[in-house]
Amino acid sequence: MPNYKVQYYEKIPLDLKTIEVVEETAAKAKEIAMDRLDNQSGVGHYTIHKVVEIRS
């Protein structure tokens, strides 16, 4: 399965962060990343910036 890098901003737009997810599609990777962010303590409001496949 491909690896995807899901980039997101927390409260400050200049604070770009990344989560790496292994899933079959970019849409599924985004969904999994959002679930992780929703369940992670200390992460409030966030905005997904983009989902990029990591080429190996």
Mean pLDDT of the chain: 88
Q: Which amino acid is at 56?
A: S
- The runs of H, that is alpha helices, within the chain are 26-39
Longest dimension (CA), the chain: 32
**Across 15-31, average pLDDT:** 93
Q: What is the pLDDT of residue 55?
A: 81
Tell me the residue length of the chain. Answer: 56
Q: What is the pLDDT of residue 41?
A: 75
Contact 39, 6 (CB under 8 A): no
Take residue 38 and report the two structure tokens written for it: 């929703």
pLDDT tens sequence across 35-52: 999 888 777 788 999 999
Whether this model's pTM surpasses 0.85: no
